Amino acid sequence: MNSFENLAPEQQHEYLLALAHKSLDNWALSGSKLSLVKYRENAVYKVTTDGGQAYALRIHRQGYHSEASLRSELEWISALLESGMAVPRVLPTVDGHLFVSETTDKIIEPRTIDLFEWVNGVPLGSMEEGVGDDIERIAEIYTSLGRTAAELHNQSSNWTLPEGFERHAWDHDGLVGDSPFWGRFWELELLNDSQRQLLERVRDRLSTELSKHDRSPERYGLIHADFVPENLMAENNRLHLIDFDDAGFGWHMFELATALYFIQEEACYPVVKQALIDGYRQKRVLSDEDLSHMELFLTARGCTYLGWIRSRQETDTARELAPELIRRACEQAERYLSGFSV
């Protein structure tokens, strides 16, 4: 039997849908309608009951997180909700569990599945299509995002971690060490010789800079780590933050760099960047010295996406996005290195 990753996308969707239907009984939702929302790292389905109630069901990619790590993610989301932040509510099973593990006769390796209340709103944009051209609206949203990021960092700085809390780290080792969290980006097979040499040079420079970067609670802690347009749900004047799958420990500037990385080439970028900074400063200190390291973290962020491709080359998504992600990362690396004397 072929592994799940080697199946055609249509067959993967068929098998995952069957698994999703089977799992609904854990929340007493059997018979509800399922529609696919997103399938990249995880498969996310909208669950709609006969009565019109909506939920988000998430089937996790095999092997990405341990059960302890996933439980920690859900505990943090719940703590953020209790603090007043606009994040999804985690819905336990009828037996009180935060998640379940399920199999079918087609998916024999257990998949972890969890459920959230449905978040209304419209994604701010996408990596492929950008965030649009309504600069006034976008600036308002990114000001709100800045405040959201600061509130999230305030909460994580003051929150006492539950016993057994476990998440990965976007630190020196997680970004540019021998085994980065998302993979050895400088060894991506799709790179040509010139690109590979460039990324080896930039990895050395990033390693030097990150190894001495401040990791005090003022600048480092739990972060969402995926502030991309798809994860920012705008509803009227409120911004909902979804998808904590990549949340872990990291620098706050890495968070802000992630929010800006994919919109750098858009006409609205200077306005949006300032809006993000202004919003953040309404809720938390962000010094000019901190901001002087933006290129460092934009470059580190770009490199992670190449590691992401390398560890997921069997997926259609990685193959489709590879040329654009390579171009962006290499251009970002060149800009960053140009700031250092040879």
Q: Considering 89, 119, 149, which residue would you say is the last residue of a domain?
A: 119
| Same-domain check for residues 198 and 215 | yes
| Same-domain check for residues 135 and 227 | yes
pLDDT digits (tens, 9 = 90+) for 231-288: 989 887 788 999 999 999 999 999 999 999 999 998 889 999 999 999 999 999 999 9
Name the domain count of the chain.
Answer: 2
Tell me the CB-side half-sphere exposure of residue 115, using CA atoms within 13 A.
Answer: 24
Domain contains 272 = yes
Q: What is the CATH number of the domain that holds 32?
A: 3.30.200.20
Question: Whole-number mean pLDDT of the chain?
Answer: 93
Global pTM value: 0.93
- Which SS3 state, helix, strand or coil, does residue 289 take? helix
Owning domain of residue 238 = 123-337
pLDDT digits (tens, 9 = 90+) for 200-243: 999 999 999 999 999 999 999 999 999 988 898 988 778 899 99
User: Is residue 135 very low, low, confident or very high in pLDDT (cuts 50, 70, 90)?
Assistant: confident
Domain contains 267 = yes
**What is the C-alpha separation between 72 and 65, in angstroms, rounded?**
10
| Same-domain check for residues 129 and 106 | no
Name which residue leads in pLDDT, 18 or 61: 18
| Same-domain check for residues 109 and 128 | no
The yes-or-no verdict on residue 1 having pLDDT over 50 is no
Q: What is the pLDDT of residue 10?
A: 87
Q: Considering 119, 147, 169, which residue would you say is the last residue of a domain?
A: 119
| Same-domain check for residues 222 and 181 | yes
The yes-or-no verdict on residue 85 having pLDDT over 70 is yes
| Same-domain check for residues 62 and 35 | yes
Q: Is 6 left (phi over 0), alpha (psi -120 to 50) or beta?
A: alpha
